[in-house]
Amino acid sequence: MPELTAELQQEFDTVVRRNPGEAEFHQAVREVLESLGPVIDRRPEYLESGIISRICEPNRQIIFKVNWLDDQNRVQTNRGFRVQFNSALGPYKGGLRFHPSVYLGIIKFLGFEQVFKNALTGMPIGGGKGGSDFDPKGKSDKEIMKFCQSFMLELSHHIGADTDVPAGDIGVGGREIGYLFGQYKKLTGRYESGVLTGKGLTWGGSRARTEATGYGTVFFADEMLKLTGESFEGKKVVVSGSGNVAIYALEKAQQLGGTVVAMSDSGGYIVDEGGIDLEQMQELKEIRRGRISEYADANPSARFVSDGQIWDVPCDIALPCATQNELPLAGAEALIKNGCTLVAEGANMPSTPEAIKAFRANGVRFAPGKAANAGGVATSALEMQQNASRDSWTFEYTEERLKEIMVGIHARCAETADEYGSPGDYVRGANISSFVRVADTMLALGVI
Ligand code: NDP
Ligand code: 2IT
């Protein structure tokens, strides 16, 4: 892992001091700063104009109380967040996460990553993130609705089609976006379609948004494979998670000829050497909201493993699509030992710094989430375009746009890595090209 230069170390120390106890935020900032040494050498004005500290400080951080009544009519209290990180390139844009592990440090790491990811898409969107420590697991549909309505009671003061446009993330999908949009419409008295993305198709949603993140990750990996004349055809693939991103990574990897042999949830993983059945997985996870162990109960060819790590399953390609830091050094070592040659992140920051270092040292091609999973937010921006023009595109057209965007991001990362003397280093390529785009825009807009 490249060390930080003295000046960048000082910037990093300031971030740590100012944001105590936010380990994930520190990790995300450090990874970007580690890429920037050669940029600062060429463009010292970034340091002199304070761009590094300005880019590491969110524009606005909102924390609020969310009271709601559960099915027993007891009052429940959760905490809500929206971090409006950077709006140099456009309105704040980024998802909402509902998970008990959510605290300010998680939302800040996600918001920080989002700024650079959104810049990579080339679309006019700034970066933000929000969510709550609300745990959707085991809650009734009515409880989910009541929570979403209470959450929006406060969030509605801070968002808008031209200011801040939330979407889904862990624990927030089409159902939750529906309850959030309904409440926003009721509170404001306006049908402001562009205020949220990930909407349903009858109320302003975009075709292919549900599929976009997983499809985009596979398109990105496919571009990496093409450089060596390879494809997904005949490849064994491991996909961690079994939520929105994982399911559509499974679908596209299969469509391109790969065999997805393992998937997981927080209870363990399943292995099905013949290939996981997409329709069964959709029925289990999207409709029944069941546990992944039930897939093995219903399929004699599959086995469920409740302890250990999914990365022990031999594969050619690994697509981590669950959550941050789910792929530690031990996982990387297992993948390397078993001959995995490509890792593309569908999740945000799933690989630890130690795992990335091991991939680099062992020649494993590695695509960081801010590049490889940008298809989701890019298609959200396409949804915003459709809303602004009151139009609705076909699935084929939207998927084609998504693919072009992923091919473009891949090219931008690869070219920037070459330009800065690190061919094949997608981490450096992604960080540098997105940083320069945001930083130059901030300089152009003045000290605000
Ligand atoms: P979902 O809620 O649909 O699915 C999350 C999946 O990850 C579930 O299988 C869940 O298992 C598993 N998971 C979550 N937290 C943990 C944990 N702490 N330990 C083990 N497993 C866990 O979320 P998404 O698919 O939308 O998001 C997955 C990742 O992709 C996240 O990192 C998200 O930030 C990122 N992402 C999402 C985008 C989107 O458009 N949705 C866009 C870009 C990135 P269980 O159900 O058991 O909790
Ligand atoms: O991490 C992400 O990019 C998302 N959760 C999607 C954000 C969005 O606004 O579509």
Residue list, ligand 1 pocket, CB within 6 Å: 95, 168-171, 213, 241-246, 265-267, 321-323, 326, 346-348, 373, 376
Ligand 1 atom with minimal separation from the 348 CA: 32
- Among 240, 244, 383, say which to mutate for ligand 1: greatest number of ligand atoms within 8 Å of CB: 244
For residues 216 and 343, state if they share a domain.
yes
Mean pLDDT over 394-406 rounds to 98
- Tokens 């009271």, located at residue: 67
Residue 241 lies in a domain: yes
Residue 418 exposure: Cα atoms within 13 Å on the Cβ side? 6
- Which of 108, 117, 129, 252 is an active site residue? 129
pLDDT at 3: 84
- Provide the b/e sequence for 399-431 (b: ≥16 CB within 10 Å): bebbbebbeebbebbbebbeebebebbbbbbbb
What's the 300 CA to ligand 2 centre distance in angstroms?
Answer: 36
Pick from 347, 372, 397: which residue ends a domain? 372
pLDDT band at 175 (very low <50, low <70, confident <90, very high): very high
pLDDT at 228: 98
For residues 232 and 351, state if they share a domain.
yes
For residues 248 and 152, state if they share a domain.
no
Which structural domain, as residue segments, surrounds residue 114? 60-192
**Looking at residue 122, which CATH number applies to its domain?**
3.40.50.10860
As a whole number of angstroms, the distance between CA 435 and CA 448 comes to 18
Tens digit of each residue's pLDDT (9 = 90 or more) over 259-300: 999 999 999 999 999 999 999 999 999 999 999 999 999 999
For residues 281 and 331, state if they share a domain.
yes
For residues 16 and 68, state if they share a domain.
no
Residue 433 lies in a domain: no
**One-character DSSP codes across 105-165:** HHHHHHHHHHHHHHHHTTSS--EEEEEES---TT--HHHHHHHHHHHHHHHTTT-BTTTEE
Ligand nearest to the CA of 117: 2
Residue 165 Ramachandran class (φ > 0 left, ψ -120 to 50 alpha, else beta): beta
**pLDDT above 50: residue 170:** yes
In 3D, which of 360, 322, 352 has the Cα closest to residue 238? 322
Angle at 370 between CA 366 and CA 373, to 5 degrees: 85
pLDDT at 86: 98
Mean pLDDT over 119-138 rounds to 98
Asked whether the whole model's pTM tops 0.85, one would answer yes
What's the 373 CA to ligand 2 centre distance in angstroms?
Answer: 9
pLDDT at 316: 98
Residue 436 lies in a domain: no
For residues 51 and 115, state if they share a domain.
no
Tens digit of each residue's pLDDT (9 = 90 or more) over 53-110: 999 999 999 999 999 999 999 999 999 999 999 999 999 999 999 999 999 999 999 9
Tens digit of each residue's pLDDT (9 = 90 or more) over 339-386: 999 999 999 999 999 999 999 999 999 999 999 999 999 999 999 999
Residue 366 exposure: Cα atoms within 13 Å on the Cβ side? 23
Residue 445 lies in a domain: no
Q: DSSP alpha helices (H): ranges in 283-394?
A: 293-298, 329-337, 353-361, 369-372, 374-388
pLDDT at 2: 60
Neighbours of 279 (CB within 10 A): 8
Q: How far is CA 158 from CA 57, 66, 112, 392, 444, in A?
A: 18, 15, 19, 27, 26
**pLDDT above 80: residue 1:** no
Tens digit of each residue's pLDDT (9 = 90 or more) over 204-263: 999 999 999 999 999 999 999 999 999 999 999 999 999 999 999 999 999 999 999 999
Q: What is the CA radius of gyration of the chain?
A: 21
Residue 292 lies in a domain: yes
What's the 296 CA to ligand 2 centre distance in angstroms?
Answer: 31
pLDDT band at 395 (very low <50, low <70, confident <90, very high): very high
Ligand 2 atom with minimal separation from the 113 CA: 1
Active-site residue, 65 included? no
What's the 169 CA to ligand 1 centre distance in angstroms?
Answer: 7
Residue 312 lies in a domain: yes
